[in-house]
Structure formats: structure tokens, C-alpha cells
Amino acid sequence: MPARKPLIDEHGEVRELTDSDLKQFKRGDEALPDALRRKIGVRGPQKGPTKIPLSLRLSPEVVEAFRASGDGWQKRIDAVLADWLKTHSPDEVTL
């Protein structure tokens, strides 16, 4: 079998592929090692605790103030509430 022509040309660009190049290609599930093939489509473990998505109604002033602080404003609201819970209990709040 003759030596295969490199896929990259002298300028570092991928050259135009020929029919014989395409015939030598394998499907990804055939070319990958078994260990990697088993991991395809499998989600890894969560990096941190899972949060619960919910709909929450807040006053416009609160939302505007946190949104004005930039990206991550919802995480900051969560951090503020978590910090408040360290020294308070929700049943202390009267409306």
C-alpha cells in the first residue's frame, strides 16, 4: 500500500480530500478506543450541588438592583438568601 499523503499542506491548511482519502476514514464509533466509546453520551457528575429551578416573584426594585450588578445576579440573590439563613429563620418574617 502506498504511503498516504498528509492531510495538511505546506501552509498548514487542510488540503482538499480525495475519494481515496474518504474511503480510508472510519466512523467515530469504530475509530475511538473502547474506553472513550463507553463515555459518549454519558453525562459526568455535577460539579456542585444541584439547584432547584422555580418561578419566584420579586419586587421590581430588587430585580433591577441585582440585574444592574451584571452577570451572575441570580447567583448573588441565592448567596444573599443563604447568608441570611445562617442567622435567621424564615418563620421570623412577618408580612
CA–CA distances in Å: residue 6 to residues 12, 13, 25, 42: 11, 11, 14, 34
Please report the pLDDT score of residue 46 as a whole number.
76
- Domain ranges in the chain are 12-41, 60-92
Rounded to 10 deg, the angle between the 60-68 and 73-87 helix axes is: 120
The predicted-structure confidence for 24-75, as pLDDT tens digits, reads as follows 888 877 888 888 888 887 777 777 777 888 999 999 999 999 999 999 999 9
* 2, pLDDT greater than 70: no
